[in-house]
Structure 1
Amino acid sequence: MDRKKFLKNGLIGMGSIVAIPTVLSSCSNDDNNDNDPDACAPSPSETAGPFPIKTPADLVRENIVGNKTGVPLLINFTIQNTNSNCTPLQNAIVDIWQCDAKGNYSEYSGQLDGNFTSEHFLRGRQTTDTNGKASFISIYPGWYPGRTPHLHVEIKSNSGSSLLITQVSFPENVSNTVYATTEYKGIADTNNLNDGIVGAANLADSVTGDTTNGYTLTKIIKVTG
C-alpha cells in the first residue's frame, strides 16, 4: 500500500486518537529457512471466539477505529502461501476483529460495558496486494477476564473460502506500558503463558512505537492457499 495514501486515509475519522505511527514497518520472506522443515508451516489455527464478524463483506475499510479511543495501532499483515514455498498470497481476503480499550466487542450484547449490537467498531476487511500485504488502522486492544490481549484474524481465498482462523498476541512489556495510560483499565489478569489459547507462534513478529505516537504491529501469517 502506498504510504501517503495510507496516512491520508488514516487521518479521516480518527476522533480523539492522538496520532498514528510515523514509521511503517515491512515484512519479508527473510524468516524462511530452507533447512528448517517448519519454516513454511501454516500458522496456528485458533477459535474465532464468541464474537466473530457477522457481515464482514459490509466492512471493507482500512480504518476500523469507529468511535473508539485508545493508543493508535497500525497493523501490517503479510499473508504467505505454504503451497508455494511461502510466497506472498495476492488477493486474499483478510478479516480482523478485536475488542476496544475496555474489553468490549461490537455487534454483540452482554458486554462488559453494555449492549453494542448496533455498532461495528474495530472490525474490518482488506484484500492483500501483490506482496501479500494488508493493513489496518486501529487502536491497541484492551483485555477482558481470562484472555491475554489479542487480535482475531480470518484469511479467506478470493472466492471467499476460509483458509485460516487465527489470533495474534502482543508482547507483555508493550501491553503493560499501554495499559498504564488513561484509556485502559490496568494490567491484564491473563498473560501469554497462561492464556490457554495462543502460543509462541501467535505472538506478533514485532510491535514498535510508543504511547504518544502509537505502535506498529507486523505479522506474517502463513496459510495453505
Structure 2
Amino acid sequence: MRRHGDDEVHEHDRGLSYDLPVLARRRMIRLLAGAGAGAAVGAGLAALAGCTAEGTSSSAADSAANCAGVPEETAGPYPGDGSNGVNVLKESGVVRSDITGSFGESAGSTAEGVPLTFTLTVVDAASGCGTPRKGAAVYVWHCDREGGYSLYTEGVADENYLRGVQETDERGRVTFTSVFPGCYTGRWPHIHFEVYGSLRDATGATAITNTSQLALPKDVCETVYATAGYERSVDNLGRLSLESDSVFRDGHDQQLATVRGSVEEGYNATLTIAV
C-alpha cells in the first residue's frame, strides 16, 4: 500500500496472493545464491515462473471444464419452424423483440397475461463460457396463459403471437417482451428456444445450433397462477415438479431462469445459455 506523502511501499499489505510468490522467489534466490551460481538463479526463477504459468493454465482448463453447454431438448410438437407444418420463420415481421401480438396477416390479436420480459445471453462453451456469441440468432416460442400454442391449438391456430427472432448484441444478449406462459397438462412451465449461427440462418430456418427450453421457478409460477386468467394452470402445476417433468427431470441447472418482479409490475427473467 502506497502512503500519501511518501514513497514507502509495504509488500506485506498487498495480501496473501502477493506474499506467497514473493517469499518463494526469495527462498529460491537464497538457496541458489549460496552455491554462487548466478545462472542457476535465473534458471530457478524461470522454473518458478513455469510452475506459475502451469497453474494458470490448469485454472483456465478447470474453468472450461465447469462450463456446461445447455442440454439439447425436444422442440415439441408446436415449433413453427417448418419441421412440423407451418414455418413462421420465413414470414416478414418475425424478427422482433415484442412478441405479445400477432404480426403480418395474423396481426390484430394480442396474448393476455402477466407481463414477462426475458433475456437470454448466448456464450461460447468452448471458451469456458467467457466469450459472448455476438451475431447469433435466437428464435423463441411458448404457450399462452391458457396453455395454447399459436399456429397449432384450436382457437389460436390463426394467430402467430408469442413467437419471435432476434440477433444477439455485442454482449450475446437478446431480450423479448411477452406474457407469462401458462401450465398445461403434463409439462412444467417453460419457454422453447432455438439458437442459430446467424440471423440469416434463423430466418431461413436452416442450420440450428441448439434446441432447448427455459424452465420457470415454482414460487413465481404459483404467484402468477393465482391471478385471473390462469385458473387452468393451478391444478396442472400442482400435479408436477421439475423432477418429474419429462424434459427437466434429468437435470435443469443450465435451464432454470432467474426471475424477479411482481404481478403488478411484471417479471424479468434471465438465463445464460452456453452453446
Assess same fold via TM > 0.5: yes
Does structure 2 retain, via aligned residues, the 8 Å contact 1:91–1:130? yes
- In structure 2, the gaps of 5 or more residues are 1-59, 81-86, 102-109, 202-206
Specify the code of the residue in structure 2 equivalent to 1:120.
N
Is this contact kept in 1: 2:115–2:266, CA < 8 A? yes
SS class of match (1:80): strand
Which residue of 260, 265, 269 corresponds with 1:208? 260
Q: Tell which deviates more after alignment, 86-95 or 190-199.
A: 190-199
Conserved 8 A contact 1:171-1:203: no
Letter in 2 for 1:134: V
CA distance in 2, matches of 1:34, 1:207: 31
Number of aligned residues: 187
Say whether the 8 Å CA contact 1:44–1:201 is kept in structure 2: no
For 2:255 and 2:222, the matched residues in 1 are separated by: 15
In structure 1, the partner of 2:241 is 191
Q: Which has the higher strand share?
A: 1
Aligned counterpart, 1:120 = 160
Alignment check: 8 A CA contact 1:88 1:131 kept: yes
Q: Aligned partners of 1:142, 1:205: CA distance in 2, in Å?
A: 16
**Would the aligned equivalents of 1:94 and 1:127 in 2 still touch at CA under 8 Å?**
yes
1:217 matched to 2:250? The reply is: no
Which residue does the alignment assign to 1:39? 66
Structure 1 segments of 4+ aligned residues over 6 angstroms from their partners = none
Q: Which has the larger radius of gyration?
A: 2
Q: How has the CA–CA distance of structure 1 residues 37 and 85 changed in structure 2, closer, same or farther, with 3 Å as cutoff?
A: closer
Deviation at 1:79, TM superposition (A): 0.1
In structure 2, the CA distance between the partners of 1:141 and 1:38, relative to structure 1 (3 Å rule), is farther
Question: Hey, what's the Cα distance between the residues in 1 that align with 2:97 and 2:113?
Answer: 17
Specify the alignment match of 1:148 in structure 2: 188
Question: 2: CA distance between counterparts of 1:135 and 1:204?
Answer: 17
> In the alignment, residue 96 of structure 1 is paired with which amino acid?
V
Q: 1:70 to 1:216 in 2, by over 3 A?
A: same
Tell whether the 8 Å contact from 1:46 to 1:197 is kept in structure 2 after alignment: yes
Fraction of identical pairs, as percent = 36
Aligned partner of residue 200 in structure 1, secondary structure: coil
More relative contact order, 1 or 2 (CA 8 Å, 6+ apart): 1
Unaligned runs of 5+ in 1: 1-32
SS in 2 for 1:178: helix
Structure 2 Cα separation of the partners of residues 139 and 49 of structure 1: 20
Match of 2:197 in 1: 157
- Identify the residue that residue 124 of structure 2 maps to in structure 1: 81
Summarize the Cα distance change of 1:34–1:71 in structure 2 as closer, same or farther, 3 Å threshold: farther
* Structure in which a larger fraction of residues adopt helix: 2
Q: Give 1:37 deviation, angstroms.
A: 5.4
The letter of the residue matching 2:245 is: D
